[in-house]
Structure 1
Amino acid sequence: MKGLIIDKVHSSIKAELSKYMQMDEHLLPTQEELKGMIGEYDVLIMRVDPFLNKEFFDAAKNLKVIGVCAVGLNHVDLETAKAHNVQVFNAPGLNANAVAELTLSKMLDLSRDVMTANHDVKVEKQWDKYKFVGRELRGRTLGVVGFGKIGRRVAKFARAFDMTTVAYDPFLTQEQVAGEDTQLLPIEELLKVSDYISIHVPLTPETKDLISKEKLKSMKNDCMVINMSRGGIVNEADALEALQNGQLGGYATDVMENELAAGGLTEGAGFDSPLFKEDKFIVSPHIGAQTVDASRDIGAHIISKVKEAFNLN
């Protein structure tokens, strides 16, 4: 058997699976490159790029298992995978704490203008503490959009800061979140009452541009939005306009709509956006799950699923 790793994943995956099969690495191939090489492999280990379409599965003559070292599966044509008898495993929940901690970090950074203050001191060589008057999380309301494992972890952290938490999740009832100390609300009401909005939903046709011009207008003028899910859920042009006209108090994100442009997700990739000129916008390059802890846990899970699929001891 042969396995192929196409992204940076925990070293334990290659080390353990090499006991049972030949493991090759080719980091971040294009869709065409992957289609050309996948035919000889039984196992594919990846994260979120590239998109695996019908042409890929038609070329994957020997493929039996795909291990996705991430939560989202919107980059895999799951119906075609099933038709080709390819099992697809992801790692739901294993990055929840890592993403939740980064979410709270971004909330604090926005609230206290940490990034701009850091730039003023290190780059501009200015020491002006009177320029930065922030606000505390205490007593504020956090609206969590998507109340799965990550959303619930974020809400738990927020309550430790004495915040009130509300949530929108059309797939849950209040009875199903009993004990979470969080009220479920329709999204229109959540947007109106929240001082912070944290987004943790997959990118689907229903969630594309979920936060756009009209919904931004319905928020409090000093509301701060944190997108830790997928680019495209927040309409970036509308967010830019809302920042510039004062409708939005701040926008922090770990994802961008066109983050794969110019080789995004690769080392040294170039990237630009009009949002970068805004002090009240902060961004990181999709690092939500990038901790040694989450990587280790995800690696162990994917190893176990691959071994289970092939009945390996």
Structure 2
Amino acid sequence: MKCLIIDVVSPAIATELGKYMEVDTKILPTQEELAGMIGDYEVLIMRVDPAINKEILDAAKKLKVIGVCSVGLNHIDMAVAKEKGIQVFNAPGLNDNAVAELTISKMLDISRHTIDACNDVKVGKNWDKYKFMGRELRGKTLGILGFGRVGQRVAKLAHAFQMYVVAYAPYLPEYVFDQEATKGVSVDELLKVSDFVSIHMPLTPETKDLFNAKSIATMKDGAVVLNMARGGIVNEQDMYEALKSGKLGGFATDVMANELAAGGLTEGAGFDSPLFECENFIVTPHLGAQTTDAARAIGVHIINKVKDAMGLK
């Protein structure tokens, strides 16, 4: 048996599965590259890139299991996988706290200008506290779009800062909002009342470009948008215009629409965006789940799922 790992995941996965099968690693192959090599493997371990389309699955003649070391599965053609009898396992609930803590970190960073201030001292060799007047989270309204495990964890942390929390999740029963001391509202109401809006929704045809010129216009002047979910939910050109005009007070994101367009982790990859011109924009390279704690938990979960599926003891 052979296993192919195509993203940076817990090293425990290769170590443990290596006791039962040959394990190869090819970090972030293109779809064409993956289609060309997948035919030799029974197990595929990945995160979210590249998207697993019908062409790849058609080429995966031996594939029995796909272990996804993240939550979302919209990057896999699940109908074709099911048709071919390929079991797909993800890791829900194991990186919730990591993503939630990053969300709060970004709220603090953009509110207190910590990144700009750090660069001003280290790079500019300046010591000028008067350049960086910030604002506190206490007493502000946080709107959470998507109130699943991550959104609920963000709400808990926000309450510790004495924020008022509203959330949008149309299919959740009312008692869930009550348990989290959170008011359930519509998207329109959430955008209207929130000082901070944090996105924790999947990318779907309904959520694509949810933040655009029209919806941004309904928001509070100076509001801050945070996206720890998926690039594409925010229209980046419209966000650029909102930041440059001063309509919004900031945009903090861990994801971008074309984040792997230039090769991602491959050697010599580059990446650019007009948003980089905006002082009130901060970005990280999709590291929401990048903690040793989350990686360890996800690794154990995926190992057990693969071993069960493959009948390994």
1:124 aligns with 2:150: no
Task: Note if contact 1:67-1:89 (Cα within 8 Å) is conserved in structure 2.
Answer: yes
Which residue in 2 is equivalent to 1:263? 263
Q: Secondary structure at the match of 1:24?
A: strand
- C-alpha separation in 1, matches of 2:183 and 2:308: 39
**Per-residue displacement from partner, 1:149-174 (whole Å, max 9, x unpaired)?**
11101110000000011100122131
- C-alpha separation in 1, matches of 2:261 and 2:64: 30
Deviates more, 1:146-155 or 1:118-127: 118-127
Task: Note if contact 1:259-1:265 (Cα within 8 Å) is conserved in structure 2.
Answer: no
Q: 1:6-45 to 2 correspondence within 5 Å?
A: 6-45=6-45
- C-alpha separation in 1, matches of 2:31 and 2:17: 24
Task: Note if contact 1:147-1:167 (Cα within 8 Å) is conserved in structure 2.
Answer: yes
**Per-residue displacement from partner, 1:37-96 (whole Å, max 9, x unpaired)?**
111111000111111111111100010100000111121111111111101111111110
Shift of 1:266: 3.8
- C-alpha separation in 2, matches of 1:244 and 1:6: 38
**Per-residue displacement from partner, 1:85-120 (whole Å, max 9, x unpaired)?**
101111111110111111000000110111111121
Which residue in 2 is equivalent to 1:109? 109
Q: 1:277-296 to 2 correspondence within 5 Å?
A: 277-296=277-296
Q: Specify every segment of 5 or more residues in structure 2 that has no aligned partner in the other structure, as ranges.
A: none
Q: Secondary structure at the match of 2:179?
A: coil
Count of matched residue pairs: 313
Deviates more, 1:58-67 or 1:263-272: 263-272
Shift of 1:179: 1.0
Q: Which amino acid aligns with 2:149?
A: K
Q: Which amino acid aligns with 1:249?
A: G
Shift of 1:29: 1.1
TM score, norm. by length of structure 2 = 0.98
- C-alpha separation in 1, matches of 2:41 and 2:6: 12
Shift of 1:180: 1.0
1:156 aligns with 2:156: yes
Structure 1's 178 and 265: CA in aligned 2 closer, same or farther, altered over 3 A?
farther
Shift of 1:236: 0.5
Which residue in 1 is equivalent to 2:180? 180
TM score, norm. by length of structure 1 = 0.98
Which residue in 2 is equivalent to 1:72? 72
Q: Which amino acid aligns with 1:36?
A: G
- C-alpha separation in 2, matches of 1:51 and 1:179: 37
Q: Which amino acid aligns with 2:296?
A: R
Which residue in 2 is equivalent to 1:246? 246
Shift of 1:268: 5.0
| RMSD of aligned Cα (Å) | 1.1
Task: Note if contact 1:197-1:224 (Cα within 8 Å) is conserved in structure 2.
Answer: yes
Structure 1's 156 and 261: CA in aligned 2 closer, same or farther, altered over 3 A?
same
Which residue in 1 is equivalent to 2:137? 137
Q: Secondary structure at the match of 2:71?
A: coil
- C-alpha separation in 1, matches of 2:262 and 2:250: 27
Structure 1's 265 and 207: CA in aligned 2 closer, same or farther, altered over 3 A?
farther
Which residue in 2 is equivalent to 1:301? 301
Q: Which amino acid aligns with 2:289?
A: A
Q: Secondary structure at the match of 1:261?
A: coil
Q: Which amino acid aligns with 2:257?
A: E
The percentage of counterpart residues that share the same residue type is 65
**Per-residue displacement from partner, 1:210-261 (whole Å, max 9, x unpaired)?**
1111111111101101000011101111111011111101000000111011
Shift of 1:312: 1.7
- C-alpha separation in 2, matches of 1:249 and 1:283: 15
- C-alpha separation in 2, matches of 1:236 and 1:33: 29
Q: Secondary structure at the match of 1:116?
A: helix
Deviates more, 1:152-161 or 1:25-34: 25-34
Q: Secondary structure at the match of 1:8?
A: coil
Q: Which amino acid aligns with 1:218?
A: T
Q: Secondary structure at the match of 1:92?
A: coil
Moved over 3 A (4+): 265-268
- C-alpha separation in 2, matches of 1:238 and 1:54: 33
Which residue in 2 is equivalent to 1:205? 205
Task: Note if contact 1:173-1:184 (Cα within 8 Å) is conserved in structure 2.
Answer: no
